[in-house]
Amino acid sequence: MCKILVTGASGFIGIEVARQLDAAKIPCRLMVRRAERRVFLDGVEAETVPADLENPHSLTSTLRDVDTVIHLGARAAFQRYRALYPSIVKGSVNLMRAGLEAGVRHFIFAGTLLAYSGGPSPVDQRTPAHPQSAYGQVKHQAEHLLGQMAGRAGIRFVSLRLPHVYGAYSLLFDQIRRGRVIFPGSGTNHFAHLHVRDAARALVQAARSDLCGTYVLGDNRSCSWKTFLETARRCYPRMRMTYLQRALAMLGACLVEAGLKTIGRPTPWPYRAIQMWNLNLPVVPGTVKSVLGMEPAYPRIEDGLPAAFREALPMFWRPSNLDVI
């Protein structure tokens, strides 16, 4: 058994992982939640199978002859806890349980930097987890449960806590395509970033190495959101920026959420998402090299953003591949 299963393969990061595995001729199987999302994997020759993390029976055949799992499947971050829990926590446990029954020996989990509460000091492996957002909470819960299950079964488990991952088809670039980015705060808080190609390289390297444990990743220099967005605007001068006062953004989000709740509709911007955008979460420099022994292809946003725009600009008429698996 040498096949790698990639869950969430039609999502933003999953597509890049699939492409890199395919380019390296590494046998893999690509799991998507809906069969129609195979279109996003056009050009990748690997086997693609529809399966649902919330349906354990659909996972049995998906995991046949699989030795390694790269688990990216998850719902989008900007949802409430009860909407995220079934797929991220229960679904991940379903996947691990089915994987153990199928003989999986290596499990690579895409964790999140949002497992931390933020503060003035850069995050590293010694920083205690204390998630503030619903997404951070459910990802941290899933990570903890998967680690326990893997430990009891004696298999290798790795969680890479990824920072803000950017690229031509990220959620943020979807706003940029529309010509306006609205940031709910001053943007002066620092955050760690990583180009999608480096995030995918890290996951593939973790799958192929003997690494074990939980690690936080970021590029070689964290920066403020304002620096990130102003660098993006230099690449694409047509982009317009609006910085809302955080208190005003929070009030607006609460009012919209309350209004939509009366008609039974979820809000696209819960107030906790605004809190998330305003966390101060830099990462110690050089984690990709120190953890995985490789230099990032795009060590700073000044390297990665122009590359992302070169890929994105010819296709700005196309809808983004939103990271909803």
DSSP-derived letter for residue 267 is -
Do the domain assignments include residue 184? no
Rounding to the nearest 10 degrees, give the CA dihedral for residues 237, 239, 320, 167.
60
Query: What's the structural domain count of the chain?
Result: 1
User: pLDDT for 271-311, tens place per residue?
Assistant: 777 888 899 999 999 999 999 999 999 999 999 999 999 88
Neighbours of 45 (CB within 10 A): 10
Beta bridge partners of 5: 29, 69
pLDDT score at 268: 59
pLDDT in tens, the chain (325 residues): 469 999 999 999 999 999 999 999 999 999 998 777 777 788 888 899 999 999 999 999 999 999 999 999 987 666 778 888 999 999 999 999 999 999 999 999 999 999 999 998 999 989 999 998 889 999 999 999 999 999 999 999 999 999 999 999 888 888 887 888 989 899 999 999 999 999 999 999 999 999 999 999 999 999 999 999 999 999 989 899 999 888 887 787 788 777 877 887 766 566 777 888 899 999 999 999 999 999 999 999 999 999 999 888 765 544 444 433 3
Do the domain assignments include residue 154? yes
pLDDT score at 266: 63
Domain boundaries, position 143: 3-168+193-221+283-308
pTM metric for this prediction: 0.91
Do the domain assignments include residue 52? yes
Do the domain assignments include residue 293? yes
Do the domain assignments include residue 304? yes
pLDDT score at 179: 83
Structure tokens at 322: 């939103």
Do the domain assignments include residue 209? yes
Neighbours of 132 (CB within 10 A): 17
Assign residue 48 the CATH number of its domain.
3.40.50.720
**In which element (H, E) is residue 108 found?**
strand 106-112
Task: Confirm if 305 and 166 have CB atoms less than 8 A apart.
Answer: yes
Neighbours of 321 (CB within 10 A): 20
Structure tokens at 177: 């395509």
Do the domain assignments include residue 245? no
Do the domain assignments include residue 226? no
Rounding to the nearest 10 degrees, give the CA dihedral for residues 305, 306, 310, 313.
70
User: pLDDT for 187-207, tens place per residue?
Assistant: 999 999 999 999 999 999 999
